[in-house]
Amino acid sequence: MSGPLLELAGVTRRFGGLRAVADVTLSVPEGEVIGLIGPNGAGKTTLVNAIAGVHTATSGTVRFAGEDITRLAPWKVARRGIARTFQIVQPFPEMTVLENVAAAAMFAGARAYGREAKTEAREHLRFVGLADIADRPAASLTLAMRKRLELAKALAMRPRLLLLDEVNAGLNASEVDAALALIRGIAARGVTVLIIEHLMKVVLSLCSRIVVLHHGVLIAQGDPQAIIRDSRVVQAYLGRRYAAGAEGEHG
Amino acid sequence: MKRDALIAVAVFALVALAPLTGESYWLRLGTTMLMYGVLAMSWNFIGGMAGYPSFAVAAFFGLGAYTGAVAQKLGVAMGSAWSLSGLAALAFAALLGVALLRLRGHYFAIASLVVAEVLRETVNSATDLTGGGMGLNLPIPAMRSVEAQAVFFFYAMLGLAALTFAASLLTRYSKLGFGLRCIQQNESAADMLGVNTTLYKVAAFMLSGVFVGIAGAVYASWVHYIEPPDVFDVLYSVKAIVMALLGGVGSVFGPLLGAVVFLGLEELVWRKFLEVHTGVLGLLIVLLVMFLPKGLLSLSRRLPWARRLP
């Protein structure tokens, strides 16, 4: 039996005098869908960046599938099977939707240049529902479509671990529902998902475990229902009114 | 890609007929155009495809010219000396790329601009090898006549331009070209998608150096005499950029077209406005860039019959 897929041990990231992430220890077994919540500026994105190699951890280690990836460059991390989406979507604007996804398939997904990468890209576009607009320039897409494009790109990287940074921010209710269904579909393929999210509805319906960051410190983790009743979490993030509502609904 | 290759073969075949005119003026102008075509196409690898505004063309050109000249002075045959220049530029670009391509935007531009100056001063002080400020004479190739020499150097530049074009075309339609486009549009996103950005950028920089190095060596043999201010002239960098932008960086044909149009304009303006030709030329370029920011080739996409082409 192998260990967890992702293992953070004492991960700290400093920016000058600021400790954006402080001594976070966390282990994520393969196949889990785990939610990362916390107030703005809690260090959620920084933690994801430390995993993805964008901002290397100042101290502590990040292990993925048993190997130390703490100091690997982002492109190497990507090729090992960690895909991430950005809070602010980052398509290649002058390329078509198809080319955007083909790029992911080609570089991180190790597919051959040309037909093989494009065939693979089309599959992922069908999955996220963008197959009809595959030949449009990425810059012409609406926000909801760009978020789907980000998902398709991430999938084309054939990840074992998917880091979703607020994929639902800026979407309306029906778009959020569609995105939820997509993320469920991805998890059902066996991809481990770590999702940063502000919408508690999304977190509660998707995740089997929630991790809470506050001022860069991991203040609580565990079963979603227990987390929303945790007094530290209520105080730091959810607020009393939410907790009272949750009591009424669930308790 | 096939369509582009066929058009290119036709164009280069047509250009190859130029010496039949027998006019040495046209031959000289043609050779110059082809040389600048090589510079502009080379710049396009790093400046157009990867989006890194390099001013290193003059450095590669001068390095190639001096490598070729010194090698011939030491007894190497002309053809081998040219190859040696290409290798020198390739190696130099690799080393320089690893160091400079960590910088982005203006910082990279300025750093690449300084390289030619450093090389020029180095060549200036290495008097024993390079003749320093006195310049360096090259052996005149053993050929029947001055005309035969002119024809020979015309074909040499034509061959080099064809080679550079072929490299551009192959790069554009390959994984390397695709990765460079990703880098040009969003480097950190490319990094995240698994593109080895450092490797790709250095490869683009090497491609942008090697043909310029050979062009420098061919130029040196062509004019028989070089001196540091001539071959390390920053105008080689500036003109290559202007030509590429003028023609359009998006296409493999753009830089080549830009070189031809730029030198054509230069000749025309020089004849009509002897006193103020640089000013008029500058104005023309400003207007062209203002009203055709995507280059002359973007015009073709506005023509009704061109709509169907991809």
Q: Is B178–A73 a contact, with Cβ atoms under 8 angstroms apart? A: no
Helix (H, G, I), strand (E, B) or coil at B60: helix
- Widest CA span of chain B, in angstroms? 61
Collect all residues of chain B within an 8 Å Cβ-Cβ radius of residue A78: 191-194
Interchain CB contact of A133 with B (< 8 Å):
no
Closest Cβ opposite residue B193 in set A54, A113, A153? A153
pLDDT in tens, A17-26: 899 999 999 9
- The predicted pLDDT at position B306 comes to 46
CB of A113 less than 8 A from some CB of B: yes
Q: What are the DSSP E strand ranges found in chain A?
A: 6-15, 18-28, 33-37, 59-64, 67-68, 82-84, 161-165, 192-196, 209-214, 217-222
The winner for highest mean pLDDT among A106-110, A235-239, B213-217 is: B213-217
pLDDT of residue B299: 76
Are A103 and B175 inside 8 Å of each other by CB?
no
How many A×B Cβ pairs under 8 Å? 67
Candidate from B181, B185, B194 with C-beta closest to A78: B194
As a whole number of angstroms, the distance between CA B22 and CA B19 comes to: 6
Q: How far is residue A218's CA from residue A26's CA, in Å, rounded to a whole number?
A: 9
Mean pLDDT on A214-224:
92
Q: Tell me the per-residue pLDDT of A128-179, one tens digit each, with 9 for 90 and over.
A: 999 999 999 999 999 889 999 999 999 999 999 999 998 888 888 888 998 8
Which of B174, B179, B188 lies closest to A107 in CB terms?
B179
Q: For A157, which of B178, B194, B197 is closest by C-beta distance?
A: B194
Residues in chain A within 8 Å Cβ distance of B193: 75, 78, 103-104, 107-108, 153, 157
Q: Which of residues 185-204 of A touch B (CB under 8 A)?
A: none
Chain B residues with CB inside 8 Å of A154's CB? none
With an 8 Å Cβ cutoff, are B185 and A93 in contact? yes
Q: What number is the ipTM of this complex?
A: 0.85
Query: What are the residue ranges in chain B where pLDDT is below 50?
Result: 306-310
Query: Contact, B229 vs B121, CB < 8 A?
Result: no
Mean pLDDT of the region A109-114: 87
Contact between B158 and B166 under an 8 Å Cβ cutoff? The reply is no
Instruction: Give B-chain residues touching A80 at CB under 8 angstroms.
Output: none
Handedness of CA B12, B15, B20, B25 (dihedral sign): negative
**pLDDT band at residue A236 under the 50/70/90 scheme:** confident
Query: Between chains, do A73 and B191 touch, taking CB under 8 Å as contact?
Result: yes
Question: Burial level of A45, CB count in 10 A (0-12/13-18/19+)?
Answer: buried
pLDDT band at A79 (very low <50, low <70, confident <90, very high): very high
Mutate to test the interface with B, among A49, A107, A149, A165 (most CBs of B within 10 A): A107
Nearest chain A CA: its distance from B195 CA (Å): 6
Q: Is B293 on the interface with A (CB under 8 A)?
A: no
pLDDT at residue B22 in the model: 77
Q: Do B191 and A75 touch (CB under 8 A)?
A: yes
Model confidence at A2, in pLDDT bands (50, 70, 90)? low
pTM (two decimals): 0.89
Beta bridge partners of A14: A19
CB B116 within 8 A of CB B108: no
A115: contact with B, CB 8 A cutoff: no
Mean pLDDT of A62-69: 94
Taking the CA of residue A242 and the nearest CA in chain B, the distance in Å comes to: 36
Nearest to B196 among A75, A84, A86 (CB): A75
Domains of chain B and CATH, by start? 2-306 (1.10.3470)
Other C-beta atoms within 10 Å of B225: how many?
12
Backbone angles phi, psi at B187, to 5 degrees: -65, -40
- A159 interfacial to chain B (CB closer than 8 Å): no
